[in-house]
Structure formats: C-alpha cells, structure tokens
Structure 1
Amino acid sequence: MATAIHWYSLCAVTLFLKMFALSAYQGFHRLSRRTFVNPEDAEVFNKPPASAELPQVQRAAKAWLNDLENIPIFLGLGTAYVLTGASPEAATWLFSTFTIARILHTLMYLLGLQPWRTIAYAVGIFCLLGMSLNIGLVLYRLS
C-alpha cells in the first residue's frame, strides 16, 4: 500500500502537468491563429496586436486563475497532512479525488459545461475539507 507522501507527490506532479497543459492550450490557440495581445509577441509574426484575447485563451485563463485559488491550498494542506501523519488510507482517496476533480473542472471550464464544472469544483472543495478534518483530528489527539 502506498503512503500518503506517495499519493501527495503523484498528485502534485499531475496537477503541475495539468496546469502546464492548460498553458500549452493557450499557446496553441494563439499560435495557430497568430493572434497576440502583447505587442512584442505580435511583432514576431509581423502582425498588429489584437484588441482582445481569443475566447479559448480567455476561458483557459479563467480556469488557470481558478487553479491558482485551489491548488496552492491543496499543496499546503497536503504538506500538513503528510507531516502530521494523518490517515494514509484517506489520503489515497482525498488526494486522488481532488486531482481528478481539478482535471474535470478544467475540462468542463474549457467546454463551457454547467452544472458539471460546479460539481467538479465542489468535489475538490469537499476533498480539501476532508483533508482539513483529518489534520484537525490528528492535532486534537496530540493535544
């Protein structure tokens, strides 16, 4: 059976790769349409700067911002979870479910699918709450 640190590390790397793929998605759309808002980027392709980002790039940017609100919290709680020695069995489910929920949230955001995006978001939040509860129980027992 894998340890909590194993699942934490696996999920942290997976979340990094998901965010990297989201950046690549933005780059793909900018490059394939040669549409750049930043003047220096447009200049490389001898194009005038666009007045606005492409809709796909805007949607990906919003998904990225949502990741920046949630993934650092996961990383912080995950570190506390591992360091306090909270339940390794629960870690397997909490860490992996959070990671899957974030992947699904991004996909639903890019595809514009509601209520699925909100459901994926809520599942991730419940995982963070579960992590907090497990950490709290360990700390309560230690006091």
Structure 2
Amino acid sequence: MAFMIGNEVFSCFAFYSVLLVIKMYILAIITGQVRLRKKAFANPEDALRHGGLQYHREDPDVERCRRAHINDMENILPFFFLGTVYSMTGPSLTVARLHFLVFFMGRVLHSIAYLLALRAPTRSLAYIIAQIACFSMALQVLVTVAAYA
C-alpha cells in the first residue's frame, strides 16, 4: 500500500479515476432526474409511487441517459484495471498523466455528446481518443511484462 501511495504515477491515476467515478455518479443522477421529469419509471413500484402504473414505461430521453451510463461502465471499468497495472510498470509521470488526462477528457466529451445527441462524429471521435489512450497503456504493459516472461 505504501508503494501505491508514494508512487506519483499511481497518485495521478487515482486522481483521474476518482474524477471518472464522480462523472459516473453525475450521469446516474441525471438519469434519475430525467426519469422523474419524464415520469418514465423502470419499476412498477416506482411508477405507483409517482402517479400510477401508466408511468411504468420507457422514454427515449431516459434511455439515452441510461445508455451513456452503461457505456461509461463498459469503458471506465477496464481503464481502472489497465491504469492500475500500467502505474506499476514504472512509466514516466508526464506520459502517464497524458494517458490519464486524454482518457478522462475523451470520456467527458463522450458523455456530453451522448446526452446532447450531438451530430456524428463527435461521440465516435471522443470514444476513439479515449480508447487510444487505453490501447497505448495496454501495449506498454505487455511490452514491459514480456521482458520478464
């Protein structure tokens, strides 16, 4: 544990990881708020509490928010693993910070583009940029550990 806390790269990774978790919480809150505003509840008991079973339904705006949140989980969770392992390989702090910042900014832009239904290719470019950072970290991990295999 002391190695991780004293490791500047890991501390940088932890900083961006916490920001990503906060961003995921914000998306969850937005989804809940849109559900309430649109009266579109996934569970019958929630619909009953907010006006009746007719509100146990899907809504395109709620689904858009939900898909953005799911996409975050599909992409940020692997980043947590890759970033942790990458941090242990002894990369340059500057290069590591760039990886983490690019991924973070890509995911923020992706969420904004998703929620605002921005025209192509904004969302796709944001996704690709974030994935390039992850792919680069993965390659560097493989190269580093292959030397010891």
* Alignment equivalent of 2:37, drawn from 9, 32, 40: 32
Task: Using structure 1 for the length normalisation, give the TM-score.
Answer: 0.89
Segments of structure 2 that go 5 or more residues without pairing to the other structure are 1-6
Name 1:20's counterpart in structure 2: 25
User: Contact between 1:36 and 1:49, CA under 8 Å: does it hold in 2?
Assistant: no
* Alignment equivalent of 1:93, drawn from 69, 79, 98: 98
Counterpart check, 1:115 vs 2:115: no
User: Contact between 1:29 and 1:57, CA under 8 Å: does it hold in 2?
Assistant: yes
Task: Using structure 2 for the length normalisation, give the TM-score.
Answer: 0.86
Name 2:145's counterpart in structure 1: 139
> How many residues matched?
142
Please, what is the CA RMSD of the aligned residues? 1.8
Amino acid aligned to 2:35: R
* Alignment equivalent of 1:54, drawn from 46, 54, 59: 59
With 48-57 and 78-87 compared, the bigger mean Cα shift is at 48-57
* Alignment equivalent of 2:77, drawn from 67, 72, 81: 72
| C-alpha distance after superposition, 1:30-61 (max 9, x if no partner) | 11233323110011123224353222210111
Segments of structure 1 that go 5 or more residues without pairing to the other structure are none
SS in 2 for 1:52: coil
Percent of aligned pairs with the same amino acid: 34
Amino acid aligned to 2:111: T
With 116-125 and 64-73 compared, the bigger mean Cα shift is at 64-73
